Amino acid sequence: MAKKTQPILLGLFILLLICSASVLYNHQYKVDHGTKLTVESIVGSSLFMIWSNYNSILENETDMLTIEHINDIHVKLSVIEAYSDTVGRSVNTQLLTPIGKDMKVITESMQKSYKENKKFTEQDQTKYATLINEITTLIPLIYKVYYVPESQEGAKVTLKVNNKEALIEFRDKLKNYVSNLNNV
């Protein structure tokens, strides 16, 4: 009788192992899927905050520069830098953080010039115009790089960065501009 129950017990044991493996796999899949959704949510929120702050800078564009306006832009760029770091860490590619830092360098250069001259110079006006133009160029690149193609803007972020070459080219061009600021 023991010989007849041994194959049955072995079969039940194998069936139990298969069921356990299936349950563990299903649980791990749900955990991984939940983690991915959480990270996508964090990236999406961070990208929205980046967009909101850049858009706010563009909406408050002015022909008459004031130190308060430049200080406000500097604060917004600091916020952008923090959210950019979150996005960069989440997608394992730091593209937005150096851009935000370089834009802060432009505003810091303008703040320094204002402190030295007690007014904004013509060069500061040019720096401001360049900053506004760069932000205007950057916003569509963010959508191109960080969102699923063919999704409505802001609809679906991707954790796999797309078309990053355009953003790298933008970053390098801005870095070159900033390094030339320091040489003047």
pLDDT tens column, 111-154: 999 999 999 999 999 999 999 999 999 999 998 888 877 776 55
Judged against a pLDDT cut of 80, whether residue 89 lies above it is answered with: yes
Residue pointed to by tokens 């830092």: 101
Which pLDDT score, from 0 to 100, does residue 158 have? 81
| Sequence-ordered list of residues with C-beta below 8 angstroms from that of 162, at least 6 positions apart, any chain | 144, 145, 146, 149
Question: What is the tens place of the pLDDT at every residue in 19-39?
Answer: 666 766 665 666 555 555 577
